[in-house]
Amino acid sequence: MFNWLKYQKLYYIFSALLIIATIVGFVVYGLNLGIDFQGGSELSVTYQDQAPTTKLVEENLADFNFEDLTVRKAGRREVVIQVKSQNISEIQKDKVLSSLGELGELQKNSAGFESISPVVGKALESKTQTVVIFSVIAILLYISIAFSQISRPLPSWQYGFAALIALLHDVLIVLGVFIVLGVVAGIEINIPIVTALLIVFGYSVNDSVVVFDRIRENILHGSAHQFDKVVNESLSQTIVRSINTSFTTLLVLVALFIFGGTSLQYFALSLIVGIIAGTYSSLFLASPILVSWWRKKFNR
């Protein structure tokens, strides 16, 4: 049987480097929040042929004097114009569309428009934080109750805490990727991406519970005095199942990322990164953490 725990220090170092990089990126650059959380307006148009360059669009819209204007291309023919913390009126929207039409022929009925007031954006941000906090608390309570019959060699709450560490690891990895994308490509964190993060919450915990459940079964049918051997055996019994499950899910998400269009592209990407991180953390972070706590408790 392969000794998965032999390299647990390497697992810790690798995860720590990724988490530190995310924290540094957050401190230096912050999160590039979309209009869902800051308020503002977003207008997207699709051209019949290739869309003009972002620089040309910005020059064309200069006379509107928008304070916080962002222009980006989505694919070869689509252009997205965003104005943060400022609502564009219907009259302004029609004038912008007319101005964009001067740069090329627009595809009929292709314009998409969304406007959110700054007050609503701040309310959404506050509610999102509340949902995340309650989700974390609920997950911790669930795992503690689910594993309450195990009191040796570690109490049940430590299983919940280890799963919580793995969950935070996964979310931070996803946020780190979007911090980089925000700096490099101007990609923003919006409601679909937050929804994907909540899905990652559930997927990460599910992966950890699968491994923990096998640890529980092996403890109840064997000796808890050799806890490291029990955990290693449990990892060997579940690793193929975990990887296969994640792989089949990733096949669907990769297809969604490639063919799902711009509205689903970054939603799919966040799930892809989250599932990869969740599979890794449930196998090589959450379980080794339990062993580290056991060794510390019993001076092994």
**Non-local CB neighbours of 298 within 8 Å, separated by 6+ positions:** 153
| Cross-strand pairs, 42 | 82, 114
Which of 121-125, 198-202, 282-286 is the least confident region?
121-125
Q: Report d(CA 78, CA 14) in Å as an integer.
A: 39
| Cross-strand pairs, 78 | 46, 74
Q: Report d(CA 277, CA 92) in Å as an integer.
A: 44
Q: Where are the domains of the chain?
A: 4-34+119-298, 40-116
Half-sphere exposure of 42 (CA within 13 A, CB side): 18
The two tokens of residue 130 are 């509340």
Task: Say how many C-beta atoms besides its own lie within 10 A of residue 155's C-beta.
Answer: 15
Domain 40-116 falls under CATH 2.40.128.20:
no
State pLDDT tens for residues 106-150. 888 888 888 887 777 778 778 878 887 887 788 778 777 777 766
Q: Which CATH number fits domain 4-34+119-298: 1.10.3720.10, 3.40.50.150, 2.40.50.140, 1.20.1640.10?
A: 1.20.1640.10
Query: Tell me, what's the pLDDT at 63?
Result: 84
Please check whether residue 38 is in contact with residue 85, taking contact to mean a CB–CB distance below 8 angstroms: yes
